[in-house]
């Protein structure tokens, strides 16, 4: 009604989340659609194929802009740097059969439920779209698409108990089921025909199809057939691999899709229990958890009782976790805000296993369904595999630009070809074929396959070393890594724990250390009681299970856990409590046992856990255990700081040199205000004996930049004072920052401008939450570091996903989204991956240079011959394409990685001065040689245009076989000439140019096969060397042999021996020039460093620029100083967990 159709055309989907997108509304227009359909037929499907590659063009051509409310098609665009488009059709869900009138839909859900806000009146339909397996419905009041399949976040704790505590009515359940869809994480096995079609429609294969059709038109059948066979083989292998992955993912989730569960239904105010299959569950359903092991088919909020679950699917650690019920807090805060970071204590996650339930006074353990399907923790993990975040790598961008240059190069050749042949009166069909042929020569169809070959071989080598890769394109990225983040617990340190000793504290002072094992047991007292009861251990399958630290401490007491169902506790009657009693090996104790009445599990926000315990027949007591800095706040005096543990590990791992200084950065919020403070404190002097040469043991150079952050030692014979030592270290940049996760978050909120400076020398980041780890990796990436992440569980899952190369040391489901997984849980896989990554990157460069030179060499030769209306014969093309280039492309990548890492990386840019200079110079060498041969052969005394046998008088009947090039033109093999009949390709120029260009391909293959320092020497690639020797032998045989049948088949003519020797000399000179330039100039690293220094070229990387700035800043770092922030803080809650699992963000329970 007069409203602008473009109004409300645009909105944001999943704002602030990892998968944030922009959404645009469009309406299909009949006349536009009819024109597009006509275009499909007129273009023989080319327009349809173009729209398949570019869905945004499809929408813009078929539809007109409109508001999202009116749209029947939406266009989605990612908000990252890639700006990827996708098209989705709006669908309508009818609920009219379920809701005959508004009165039939319960009033409890009408006001604040997305289900009621999505139902349009009077049609009783719901407008929806499905994006990355998540369903979104149109909110008619908010005028936007919102997720369904999850309970709304605005519910308070009391509201969840009140609204969902007695279950949903049948009508509510039916409506929610229709709108939300089934509760399944359905990863169907993709049919082979679909995989085939998707693979065949790849632009690379479409270009190959174009090339093959052109070759068949020119009777170039042998190579066309070879390309078809290789392409089909490549397609089948790819489809087989994709199919295997699809089957594996399907099997991974199918067991969770059909589980029998018990739900509570609300029928006219009364609750009744009902058995149904789990795929019928909807958000808000009331689950009843029975005794025994149960796989959870959804995410649920525990509202009564207590559960012990195994969350190894999410954490990678088979440690039982205690879940407590959601409190009935009567306030106006949403339940997640009320529970803060500890909301996970009340949530049972999909895919985890309930191993024990404990009912409360109601006698039933209940949980409200929070999320279903792909909205769950397991569903999000699957989506991260199905829809991985694309990585931006300069190599691929540069490769595309280089291809564009080759296409432009080909366009010049096409214009030249059309001009030459048209002016000489050739038929239009021949002119078109010859000009199109130039494209397939200048842009080799085998280029993408050749680049992929090196990756495939590297992947196989990694697999043999126990490193598995689900994202092969990241292998090249490993070659550029210049900063590695290691998780400490379980990655840099061993998994196992041993109790070394105990330091009791009595009468405000420390007592003697009690070492374990000891001849005498720990005496009975408060410390003994704390070790016996302050834990969250359970007895599972006859074994004590729980946190390894808790297990070790409890085993040291020699007590046992009696976890039977009921115990008589004085003053409380019979209650379900865990009782610990002295075991057979325990020393005598004055009590029969101690009952653990109530557990307060470890809280990441409070960094501690507590228990209420009671000696049987005695009084109740409270015990607390937690992080040293947190427990210290509850005590009066002495404290410690466990960041020292992380610093010690960093020193032992070689990350911090003995001569380097460690500066502790502490940031704190000021109580009673919105501001914060930050302080720099130097830690105590390092001890040289703390240093361990782990870096050397791993094969890393001591001065390897940023892989292990170590610096050069200060040379000074005199014993320096502490102040002088600090001054020397700071002046030379030999210092390291250490901070805790709490300090990191405060710095990110209040001191954002200082964060890059701190990261530049930041080495130790202790007690980081999973969200903070992801944020840290992202911040390093913003400084233009290529970041690797090595971790052992889902605590690192977010960081493993967001890093350029994430290496998981766990084979649990939690780490399945990590690009790399090591079978051996050791950080030795990191240098191995870097070595192979560097080798793969260098191989890609070598292969790219070779394929570019091979196509250019052939292109130049063809254009030279076109000048005389001549060309290479089919068998000449076949020999170069198949016998030379294809075999070299397959075997050149066999060269393995060099066993020793060097302290610098290979170049990351294809468009870089050394590489471009190498390509340009070798093109000039080839052009010079071919032009020289082309011109000089015409000056030879035996040369004749009309008599191709004039050079070899010994050939009989040469007069009868002689012919004129001009009269024969370019009939070629298509004229059906057989035997000794000249097909029009034979000439002295053809023979000279073809032999020179063919052996030139071998020369560039040899010169570009770079070995040290990133790959093993070329002679270690035995297959490649044998191939080159064999090919060179065949080529020289063709040069010096004078066999009529062979020469006739290869379209060669006989030349004098002196000319043949002259060609060999030309090739030798080209080889010497190419090799000399490549070794003395292109691969001369000191020369390029000198040129950079001479022309004052500085790296444009953000961290390099910042480094140069800080080197000039004498006031940095400000030791023993405190800065205060303004009252305005930056909210970083979104970024702190932006790339972790949004439905599960586990925190490490390290105490």
Whole-angstrom distance, CA of residue 886 vs CA of residue 868: 29
Token digits of residue 300: 């649920």
**Closest listed residue to residue 744, CA positions, set 758, 733, 732:** 758
Gap between the Cα atoms of 860 and 462, Å rounded: 40
In Å, how far are 509, 697, 770, 1107 from 732, measured between CA atoms?
A: 42, 27, 34, 12
Separation of alpha carbons 67 and 3, rounded Å: 10
To the query of whether residue 380 is one of the catalytic residues in this protein, the response is no
Task: Pick the catalytic residue from 285, 437, 487, 1145.
Answer: 487
Contacts of 514 (CB under 8 A, 6+ apart): 501, 502, 503, 504, 522
97: DSSP letter: T
Helix (H, G, I), strand (E, B) or coil at 812: coil
> How does strand 762-766 pair with strand 63-65?
unpaired
461-465 contact pairs (CB < 8 A, 24+): 461/836, 461/896, 461/897, 462/820, 462/832, 462/833, 462/836, 465/829, 465/832
The 8 Å CB, 24+ separation contacts for 210-214 are: 210/440, 211/440, 211/445, 214/433, 214/436, 214/437, 214/440
- If one counts every other C-beta atom within 10 angstroms of the C-beta of residue 231, the result is 20
- For residue 1013, whether the previous peptide bond is cis, meaning omega lies within 30 degrees of 0, is yes
For residue 941, the tally of other CB atoms under 10 A from its CB is: 8
Closest CA to 988 of 957, 965, 1009: 965
- Cis status, amide bond into 218, omega within 30 of 0: no
Residue found under tokens 């020569």: 441
CA–CA separation, 147 and 156 (whole Å):
19
Q: Are strands 787-791 and 483-486 parallel, antiparallel or unpaired?
A: parallel
Residue 295 to residue 310: CA distance in whole angstroms = 10
CB-based contacts of 693, cutoff 8 Å, min separation 6:
654, 702
Q: Which two tokens stand for residue 686?
A: 């390092």
Task: Encode 402-433: b = buried (16+ Cβ within 10 Å), e = exposed.
Answer: beeebeebbeebbeebbebbeeeebeeeebbe
Q: How far is CA 700 from the centre of its chain?
A: 24
Task: Extract the tokens encoding 987.
Answer: 């000439």
Cα 1082 off chain centre by: 32
Strands 787-791 and 805-808: parallel
- Tell me the three state secondary structure of residue 602: strand
H or E stretch including 400?
helix 394-423
State which H helix or E strand residue 866 sits in: helix 829-866
The 3-state DSSP class for residue 121 equals: coil
**Residue 832: which of 844, 847, 820 has the closest Cα?**
820
CA distances from 156 to 164, 335, 336 (A): 12, 5, 8
SS3 549: helix
Instruction: Report the catalytic residues.
Output: 487
């Amino acid at each position: 009604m007069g409203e602008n159709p473009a109004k409300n055309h645009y909105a944001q989907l999943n704002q602030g989340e990892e998968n944030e997108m922009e959404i645009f509304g469009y309406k299909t227009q009949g006349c536009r659609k009819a024109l597009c359909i006509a275009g499909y037929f007129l273009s023989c499907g080319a327009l349809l194929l173009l729209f398949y590659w570019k869905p945004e063009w499809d929408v813009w051509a078929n539809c007109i802009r409109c508001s999202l409310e009116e749209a029947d098609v939406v266009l989605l665009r990612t908000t990252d740097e890639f700006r990827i488009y996708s098209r989705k059709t709006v669908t309508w869900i009818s609920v009219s059969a379920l809701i005959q009138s508004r009165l039939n839909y319960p009033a409890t859900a009408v006001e604040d439920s997305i289900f009621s806000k999505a139902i349009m009146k009077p049609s009783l339909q719901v407008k929806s779209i499905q994006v990355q397996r998540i369903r979104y419905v149109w909110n008619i009041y908010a005028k936007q698409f919102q997720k369904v399949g999850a309970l709304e976040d605005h519910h308070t704790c009391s509201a969840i108990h009140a609204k969902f505590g007695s279950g949903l009515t049948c009508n509510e359940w039916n409506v929610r089921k229709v709108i939300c869809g089934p509760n399944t994480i359905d990863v169907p096995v993709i049919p082979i025909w679909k995989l085939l079609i998707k693979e065949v429609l790849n632009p690379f294969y479409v270009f190959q199809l174009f090339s093959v059709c052109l070759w068949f038109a020119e009777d170039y059948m042998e190579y066309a057939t070879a390309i078809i066979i290789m392409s089909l083989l490549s397609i089948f292998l790819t489809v087989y691999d994709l199919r295997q992955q699809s089957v594996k993912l399907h099997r991974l989730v199918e067991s969770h899709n059909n589980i029998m569960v018990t739900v509570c239904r609300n029928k006219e105010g009364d609750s009744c229990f009902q058995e149904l299959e789990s795929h019928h569950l909807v958000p808000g359903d009331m689950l009843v958890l029975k005794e025994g092991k149960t796989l959870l088919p959804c995410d649920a909020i525990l509202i009564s009782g207590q559960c012990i679950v195994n969350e190894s699917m999410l954490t990678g650690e088979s440690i039982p976790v205690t879940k407590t019920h959601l409190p009935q807090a009567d306030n106006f805060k949403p339940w997640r805000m009320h529970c803060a970071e500890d909301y996970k204590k009340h949530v049972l996650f999909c895919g985890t296993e309930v191993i024990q339930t404990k009912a409360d006074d109601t006698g039933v353990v209940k949980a409200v369904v929070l999320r279903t399907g792909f909205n769950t923790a397991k569903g999000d993990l699957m989506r991260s595999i199905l829809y991985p975040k694309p990585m931006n790598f300069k190599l691929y961008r540069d490769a595309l630009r280089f291809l564009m240059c080759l296409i432009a190069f080909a366009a010049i050749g096409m214009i030249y070809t059309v001009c030459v042949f048209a002016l000489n009166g050739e038929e239009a069909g021949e002119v078109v074929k010859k000009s199109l042929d130039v494209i397939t020569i200048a842009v080799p169809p085998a280029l993408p396959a050749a680049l992929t070959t090196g990756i495939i071989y590297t992947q196989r080598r990694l697999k043999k070393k126990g490193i598995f890769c689900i994202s092969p394109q990241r292998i090249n990225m490993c070659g550029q890594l210049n900063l590695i983040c290691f998780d400490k617990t379980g990655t840099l340190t061993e998994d196992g724990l041993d109790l070394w000793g105990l330091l009791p504290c009595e009468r405000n002072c420390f007592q003697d250390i009690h070492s374990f094992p000891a001849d005498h047991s720990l005496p009975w007292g408060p410390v003994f009681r704390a070790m016996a009861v302050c834990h969250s251990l359970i007895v599972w399958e006859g074994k004590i299970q729980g946190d390894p630290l808790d297990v070790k401490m409890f085993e040291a007491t020699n007590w046992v856990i009696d976890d039977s169902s009921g115990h008589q506790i004085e003053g409380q009657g019979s209650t379900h409590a865990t009782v610990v009693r002295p075991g057979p090996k325990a020393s005598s104790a004055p009590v029969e046992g101690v009952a653990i009445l109530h557990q307060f599990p470890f809280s990441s926000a409070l960094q501690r856990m507590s228990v209420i315990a009671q000696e049987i027949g005695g009084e109740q007591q409270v015990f607390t255990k937690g992080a040293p800095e947190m427990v210290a706040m509850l005590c009066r005096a002495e404290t410690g700081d466990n960041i020292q543990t992380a610093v010690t590990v960093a020193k032992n791992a070689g990350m911090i040199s003995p001569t380097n200084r460690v500066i502790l950065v502490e940031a704190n919020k000021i109580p009673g205000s919105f501001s914060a403070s930050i302080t720099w404190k130097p830690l105590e002097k390092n001890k040289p004996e703390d240093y361990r040469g782990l870096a050397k043991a791993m094969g890393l150079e001591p001065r390897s930049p940023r892989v292990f952050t170590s610096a050069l030692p200060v040379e000074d014979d005199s014993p320096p004072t502490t102040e002088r030592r600090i001054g020397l270290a700071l002046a030379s940049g030999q210092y390291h920052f250490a901070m805790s996760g709490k300090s990191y978050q405060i710095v990110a909120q209040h001191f954002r401008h200082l964060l890059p400076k701190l990261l530049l020398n930041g080495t130790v980041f202790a007690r980081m939450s999973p969200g903070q780890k992801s944020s840290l990796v992202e911040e390093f990436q913003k400084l233009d570091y290529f970041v690797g992440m090595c971790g052992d569980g889902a605590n690192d899952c977010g960081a493993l996903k967001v890093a350029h190369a994430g290496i998981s040391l766990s084979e649990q489901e939690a780490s399945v989204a990590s690009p790399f997984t090591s079978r051996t849980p050791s950080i030795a896989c990191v240098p191995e991956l870097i070595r192979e990554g560097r080798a793969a990157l260098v191989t890609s460069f070598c292969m790219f240079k070779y394929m570019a030179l091979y196509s250019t060499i052939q292109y130049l030769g063809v254009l030279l011959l076109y000048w005389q209306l001549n060309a290479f014969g089919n068998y000449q093309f076949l020999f170069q394409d198949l016998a030379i280039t294809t075999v070299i492309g397959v075997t050149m990548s066999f060269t393995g990685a060099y066993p020793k890492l060097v302290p610098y990386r290979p170049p990351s840019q294809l468009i870089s001065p050394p590489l471009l200079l190498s390509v340009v110079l070798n093109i000039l060498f080839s052009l010079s040689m071919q032009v020289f041969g082309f011109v000089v052969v015409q000056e030879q005394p035996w040369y004749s245009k009309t008599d191709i046998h004039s050079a070899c008088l010994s050939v009989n009947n040469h007069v009868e076989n002689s012919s004129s090039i001009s009269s024969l033109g370019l009939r070629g093999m298509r004229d059906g000439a057989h035997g000794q009949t000249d097909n029009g390709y034979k000439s002295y120029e053809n023979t000279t140019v073809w032999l020179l260009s063919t052996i030139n391909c071998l020369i560039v293959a040899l010169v570009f096969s770079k070995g040290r320092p990133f790959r093993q020497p070329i002679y270690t690639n035995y297959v490649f060397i044998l191939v080159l020797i064999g090919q060179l032998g065949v080529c020289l045989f063709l040069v010096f042999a004078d066999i009529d049948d062979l020469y006739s088949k290869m379209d060669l003519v006989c030349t004098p021996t002196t000319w043949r020797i002259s060609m060999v000399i030309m090739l030798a000179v080209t080889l010497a020039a190419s090799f000399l330039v490549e070794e003395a100039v292109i691969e001369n690293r000191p020369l390029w460093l000198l040129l950079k220094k001479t022309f004052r070229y500085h790296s444009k990387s953000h961290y390099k620029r910042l480094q140069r700035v800080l080197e000039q800043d004498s006031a940095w770092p400000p030791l023993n100083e405190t800065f205060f922030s303004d009252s305005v803080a930056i909210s970083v809650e979104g970024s702190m967990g932006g790339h972790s699992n949004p439905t599960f963000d586990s925190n490490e329970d390290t105490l």
